[in-house]
Amino acid sequence: MADPLDRNENELSLIQLLPNALTITAICAGLSSIRYGVQGYYVLAVLLVVVACVLDGLDGRLARLLGSESRLGAELDSLADFLNFGVAPPLIIYFWALQDIAGIGWIAVLVFSACCVMRLARFNVGSKSEDTDQSGAYFEGVPAPAGALLVMLPMYVSFAFPDASRLPDLVICIFMAIIGLLLISRIPTWSFKTTKISRKNVKFFLVGVAFAGAAILTYAWATLIVLCLCYVVMVAWAWLKKGSQPKH
C-alpha cells in the first residue's frame, strides 16, 4: 500500500491525518502523566496513562479502516508505545512509592523499561517477518499497553482502599520486574484480532461494553482491579489452552 504521507500532493484530507493526530494526543497524555506524577497528582497521572491506552487502541485500527496507514504513523505509534507504556508507568510508580528505596526502585524502573522496549522491538521485527505466524490469534508475551495497566495494579488497590496499608516498597519493585519479564516472555496472549461475535450476541456484547464503561466512570479503581485480574486469568487460560494443542 502506498504511503499517504509520501505522495506528491500539496494537501491531505483531515481524515487521513486523524490516526496520527490520535497518536500525538496519546504522546501528550503520556508526557503529561509524567509531569503530574512528579508533582504528586498520582490519580490524574494514572488516568492519563489509561487515556493513552485507549488512544493506542484506536489509532491503528482507525488507520486501517480509513486506508491511511503510513510508515510515519507506524514509527510514531512505536515511539508513543515506549513513552506511554514503558516510561510513564514505572516513573509514576517510582515517584509514588519507591523513592525511599531509590536504588532498588530505580533498578526496577530500568528493568521494566528495558523489557518494554525489547518487547516492542520484537513485535516490530516480527510484524515485518514473513516467517512469523500471521493468524493474529496470539501475541508472544504480554502486550505493552496491557503491561502498563497491570504494572500500576498496586496503585489501583491503594486508590480503591485508601485506608488499607500500601504494599511494601520491595514487593512493588518485585511486582514491576515480574510484569516486565512477562512482556518479553513467550507466553501466548490473546490478541482479540480474530475474535468474532455472532450477530445474535452483538446486543449482549454492546450492553457489556456499556456496563464496563459505566463501571469505569463510576468505580474506576475497583473496575480496573477486576479487569487486571480477569486479564491475568485469560493469559493463564490461553497459555494452558495453547500448550495443550498438539504441535505440528
At 72 the pLDDT is 79
| CA separation for the pair 133, 75 (Å, rounded) | 22
User: What's the pLDDT tens digit per position in 216-248?
Assistant: 888 999 999 999 999 888 888 877 776 655 554
In the chain the domains, ranked by start, together with CATH numbers, are 13-244 (1.20.120.1760)
Provide the residue count of the chain. 248
Non-local CB neighbours of 200 within 8 Å, separated by 6+ positions:
none
pLDDT at 11: 63
pLDDT at 3: 53
What does each of the 248 residues of the chain score in pLDDT, given as a tens digit? 445 445 445 566 777 778 888 899 999 999 999 999 999 999 999 999 999 999 988 887 777 777 777 777 788 888 999 999 999 999 999 999 999 898 999 999 999 999 999 999 988 887 666 555 545 567 788 999 999 999 999 999 999 999 988 899 999 999 999 999 999 998 888 776 666 777 877 888 888 888 888 988 889 999 999 999 998 888 888 777 766 555 54
Euclidean distance between CA atoms 112 and 88, whole angstroms: 11
pLDDT, position 130: 54
Gap between the Cα atoms of 100 and 84, Å rounded = 24
- The Cα 111–Cα 99 span in angstroms is 16
∠ CA 218-36-55, nearest 5°, is 60
Tell me the whole-structure pTM to 2 decimals: 0.84
Distance of CA 5 to the CA centre of its chain: 27
pLDDT in tens, 133-163: 545 567 788 999 999 999 999 999 999 999 9
Nearest CA among 182, 160, 183, 157 for reference residue 168 = 157
Residues with Cβ within 8 Å of 125's Cβ and at least 6 positions away in sequence, in order, are none
Contact present, 194 and 141 (Cβ < 8 Å):
no
| Cα separation, 77 vs 82, whole angstroms | 9
CA distance 15 to 12: 8
Task: Specify the pLDDT at position 8.
Answer: 46
Residue-level pLDDT at 146? 93
